[in-house]
Amino acid sequence: MKQAVREHKVLLTITLLCSILTSAAGVLIALILQKVIDAALQGDKQLFREILLLSVVYLLLLGLFGLIYSLCSKALIRNVTITLRGRVFRGVFRQKAETFSATNTADYLSALTNDIKLLEDNYIQPMLQVLQNVVVFAVSLGILLYLSPLVTVILIGCMVLMFAIPSLFGKALQHKQSEVSSQMSAFTASLKDLLSGYEVITSYAMGRYAEQTFKQQNHRAAGVRFAADRLFAFNESVSHTLAILTQFAVVFIAAYLIITGNLSAGSLVALVQLSGGFVGPVLAIMENLPKIQGIKPVQERIDLFSEEKHEPDAEGLTPVFHSTLEARHLQFSYKQGNPVIQDISLSLEKGKKYALVGPSGCGKSTLVKLLTGYYDRFDGSIALDGTDLKRLDREKLQQMVSTIHQNVYMFDSDIRHNICLHEEFSEQMLDTALHTSGIHKFLQNTPDGLLSPVGENGLQLSGGQRQRIAVARALIRNKPILVLDEGTSAIDMQTAYEIESRLLKLNELTLITITHNMNEDLLGLYDQIIYMENGKIAEMGSLEELLKHGGRFRGFYTLEKDLAGATG
Ligand SMILES: Nc1ncnc2c1ncn2[C@@H]1O[C@H](COP(=O)(O)OP(=O)(O)OP(=O)(O)O)[C@@H](O)[C@H]1O
């Protein structure tokens, strides 16, 4: 947060300077009032003309500095907001995949929208106001002392009382602000969940449930906000009452000093004006200080997501893959005491093709995620060409692997953009990717070809078409490792067979396919079938070897085939 403000030092300095000048000049009006009233009461025309001229110059300068301050402060808020959002956005994308997936995306959305707005309203603007008011207070104090030390002492007494108030509210407000931030995050999460579930909600007649959930979250969010505002209201009204009391005290004492002949009428007007300039700033400071204190939890949350929090990889070695990807005694659990991967050792060779099979939930996807550097909180070791994965540059490692999942994310653009993703590729590379992925088949039936829009998250395409785009997206980049995590499950059998058999022919590609499809012709093309059960590798070998062996894989294979036959 502070770093983001520091990035705009020049604008900050100009804003602060103009703020000081405008605030200080604003106070001088009291002296002009004093002089003009005394000149009028004395009938001094010469002095009256001089003050009139001075006032015109004063007004012009005040207006000019006021305008510059106003423009600069708004530009400062805009720049800091842009910088903060940028830092959070980059921070989110730079963190480890493991950390990213452990956090609800609504938390990121909330940090980028609600929290940054809270910072603007409760930190940046109050900070500028506090500074302005400190200047007004200091200049007013000087002039007050010059006009009447007695009134000044009484004013200071009232001030002390007024300062005691925010300390009573500060802690409670801090707590309430934190609650507002968490509740807004929960509200965004719930809203996102409901909107993403549109199809399920409408087709399963869940409208009432959705409305009720929304109503509850809506009321809760508004309720927490109101509880914080209520506390602000108490703080503000106590402060206002004390401020008015102070001004009353000044008027009555100054009036008494006029009665006793110790003060001029002009000075009384100046004192009343100054007491406003003295009390007002204290009031504003008191209102703003709890806001600044209260925003600390939100500030910490933003800092947590910001890029400076994400340390670079320890060694950041550049990964190379010429021979093997090897795991030794690999153990991993999502929750302590519940291991999902148990003592797995295996070696994958470059260019070979592996089919990973086993009952649902046995740990296939988790194993592949570990092997490709998605999670780094595991026991045992994983090495790429002999170098420990934890020593490698995470970003470069990610760039060596393409993973195609069952659900493919599509940007709301056309087919070409969803394959190339802002990168330039030759027409020949694009053509090869289109053929290997089987896209060319359905392109013939689309009027705009590669320029056909796919709609929000690819809604205008079928599941199979989306998966073919994902295959092309991966192939065009020519990455050495391709993971198909049921990546062709939505494609018809014939096309899936064609795509997979083309991938199996790519000599340089190391292919790891997680599949439930027990197609003998396809499985027979894989170099190795890795059969998993309960987080362990139960058997490993070619299809022929495993079937001949007649072990656990054979039982699984036969059962799956029978089931597919019965349901298909
Ligand atoms: N992010 C996660 N957090 C907590 N537990 C998880 C997470 N991902 C998977 N699991 C659990 O780990 C176990 C293995 O899941 P995994 O997805 O690796 O299995 P799988 O063999 O690929 O299953 P499937 O064939 O159904 O896709 C399951 O019990 C699952 O509930």
Kindly report, residue by residue over 513-566, the tens digit of the pLDDT. Answer: 999 888 888 899 999 999 999 999 999 999 999 999 888 999 998 888 777 666
Considering just the CA atoms, what is the radius of gyration of the chain in Å? 35
Which domain-ending residue is among 276, 305, 334? 305
Task: Mark whether 55 and 180 lie in a shared domain.
Answer: yes
Residue 1: pLDDT over 80: no
Q: How many domains in the chain?
A: 2
Name the range with the highest mean pLDDT among 5-19, 194-208, 376-390, 551-565. Answer: 376-390
Q: Residue 205 is encoded by which pair of tokens?
A: 């007649």
Domain ranges, residue 274: 2-305
Task: Mark whether 301 and 432 lie in a shared domain.
Answer: no
Q: Is residue 351 in some structural domain?
A: no
Torsion-angle region of 513 (φ positive above 0: left; ψ -120 to 50: alpha; else: beta): beta
Predicted pLDDT of residue 33: 86
Q: Is residue 6 in some structural domain?
A: yes
Q: Label residue 383 by pLDDT band (50, 70, 90).
A: very high
Residue from 105, 331, 364 to probe ligand 1 pocket by mutation (most atoms less than 8 Å from CB): 364
Distance 362 CA to ligand 1 centre (A): 7
Residue 194: pLDDT over 90: no
Task: Mark whether 98 and 217 lie in a shared domain.
Answer: yes
Task: Mark whether 300 and 420 lie in a shared domain.
Answer: no
| CB distance 70 to 14 below 8 Å | no
Q: Whose CA is nearest to atom 8 of ligand 1?
A: 366
The enclosing H or E element of 285 equals: helix 265-294
Q: Is residue 110 in some structural domain?
A: yes
| CB distance 98 to 374 below 8 Å | yes
SS3 annotation, 49-73: HHHHHHHHHHHHHHHHHHHHHHHHH
Task: Mark whether 179 and 61 lie in a shared domain.
Answer: yes
Q: Convert the pLDDT of each residue in 180-191 to its tens digit.
A: 888 888 898 888
| CB distance 534 to 540 below 8 Å | no
Which domain-ending residue is among 286, 305, 324? 305
Least confident of 424-428, 431-435, 447-451: 447-451
Task: Mark whether 436 and 289 lie in a shared domain.
Answer: no
Which domain-ending residue is among 274, 305, 336? 305
The ipTM value here is 0.97
Distance 334 CA to ligand 1 centre (A): 9
The strand pairing partners of 80, in sequence order, are none
Q: Is residue 162 in some structural domain?
A: yes
In one-letter notation, the amino acid at residue 25 is A
Distance 340 CA to ligand 1 centre (A): 8
Residue from 99, 332, 362 to probe ligand 1 pocket by mutation (most atoms less than 8 Å from CB): 362
Distance 485 CA to ligand 1 centre (A): 12
Residue from 335, 357, 365 to probe ligand 1 pocket by mutation (most atoms less than 8 Å from CB): 365
Task: Mark whether 414 and 293 lie in a shared domain.
Answer: no
Q: Is residue 325 in some structural domain?
A: no
Residues at CB less than 6 angstroms from ligand 1: 334, 340, 358, 360-366
- Look up the CATH number of the domain holding residue 86: 1.20.1560.10
CA 102 to ligand 1: nearest atom = 1
Task: Mark whether 415 and 301 lie in a shared domain.
Answer: no
Q: Convert the pLDDT of each residue in 338-354 to its tens digit.
A: 899 999 999 999 999 99
Q: Is residue 560 in some structural domain?
A: no
Q: Residue 224 is encoded by which pair of tokens?
A: 């927490």
Q: Is residue 230 in some structural domain?
A: yes
pTM, two decimals, is: 0.65
Predicted pLDDT of residue 100: 81
Q: Whose CA is nearest to atom 2 of ligand 1?
A: 334
Task: Mark whether 415 and 274 lie in a shared domain.
Answer: no
Q: Whose CA is nearest to atom 16 of ligand 1?
A: 363
